[in-house]
Structure 1
Amino acid sequence: MSENDCLFCNIVAGNLPSTKVYEDDETYAFMDIAPAAVGHTVVVPKTHTKDVLEADPAVFAATAKTAQTVAKRAVEVLEADGVNVLNNCGSTAWQTVFHLHFHVIPRYTDKSKDSLTLPWVPQQGDLDAIKTVGEKLAF
């Protein structure tokens, strides 16, 4: 995908409208137009970067820093009871816009402000299998 075809690159460039929440030299944060909760914000690097796996570490760090800044602001200003900071990497992991981004989703006990539900219900796994996979991942 070229930067010209990228939805988020076009938002950053001002070719598509957005409600800006925050901007610095490296990142841009804007309101999600399909919010899961009041204050749902998307944070992107200004440079086109496909995903977490391809991101330059400095770009990733700058984007994560802005996500943290926006999350803190949501708690302070919107009085959110919590915050989810989510990233989807790859289509199997529900990434639909192939430009690195974090969803900063304020969470509220008042469900009139919050429609996000947990799709994953944690359950105890096989500890031997977990150990085996952990050993494969270890470096």
Structure 2
Amino acid sequence: METIFTKILEGDIPSVKLHEDELCFAILDINPVNKGHLLIITKQPYPTLEACPQPTLCHLMQLAKTADTKLRQVLHCDATNLIINNGKASGQEVPHLHLHVIPRYEQDNKTIHLSKETYTDGEMAEYGKQLEF
């Protein structure tokens, strides 16, 4: 399956590449939340976490840790957001697994807001029973 990320990987679309190895590559996001916002992308176009083999997913997270360290050292950010939109209903725009690593600052006035729900009496326990793993 061809995606915008496979086109970037093949050099058909320009990017600023930060890293590449046998499983993943990293680029700067063209529309950053904050400057330095980067994407870590699997080379194979796995559409979701479920489709991604465990070794690749583990490697993706190792790269996220490395990217977090680099952003803190170089940009002196106070924190990072790590975001994977996993499926269309979550807001995933490109069906190719990728992780956003976004540098954050105490006073950057950026928000990620999801509205919250509450459980009715007994409902939380029932969800807990169903979702044990």
Whether these two folds match at TM > 0.5 is yes
Give yes or no for the alignment of 1:129 onto 2:123. yes
Residues 100-135 of structure 1 show CA distances to partners (whole Å, capped at 9, x for unaligned) of 000000101232xxx631212557644632221111
2:67 to 60, 67, 70: 70
Residues 62, 126 of structure 1: alpha-carbon distance in 2 compared, 3 angstrom cutoff: same
Residues 127, 10 of structure 1: alpha-carbon distance in 2 compared, 3 angstrom cutoff: farther
1:103 to 100, 116, 119: 100
Residues 39-81 of structure 1 show CA distances to partners (whole Å, capped at 9, x for unaligned) of 1001001112111111111111111211221111111111010
Q: Tell me, which stretches of 5 or more residues in structure 1 are unaligned?
A: none
One-letter amino acid of the counterpart of residue 95, structure 1: Q
**Percent identity of equivalent pairs:** 29
2:114 to 120, 125, 130: 120
Please provide the CA RMSD for this pair.
1.7
Q: Tell me, which stretches of 5 or more residues in structure 2 are unaligned?
A: none
TM-score by length of structure 1 reads 0.87
Residues 84, 127 of structure 1: alpha-carbon distance in 2 compared, 3 angstrom cutoff: farther
Moved over 6 A (4+): none
* Conserved? CA contact 2:28–2:36, under 8 Å: yes
TM-score by length of structure 2 reads 0.90
Question: How far apart, in 1, do the equivalents of 2:80 and 2:119 lie?
Answer: 26
Number of residue equivalences = 133
Q: What are the residue-to-residue correspondences of 1:1-139 with 2, within 5 Å?
A: 2-3=1-2, 6-111=3-108, 116-120=110-114, 125-126=119-120, 128-139=122-133
One-letter amino acid of the counterpart of residue 32, structure 2: P
Question: How far apart, in 2, do the equivalents of 1:129 and 1:76 lie?
Answer: 44
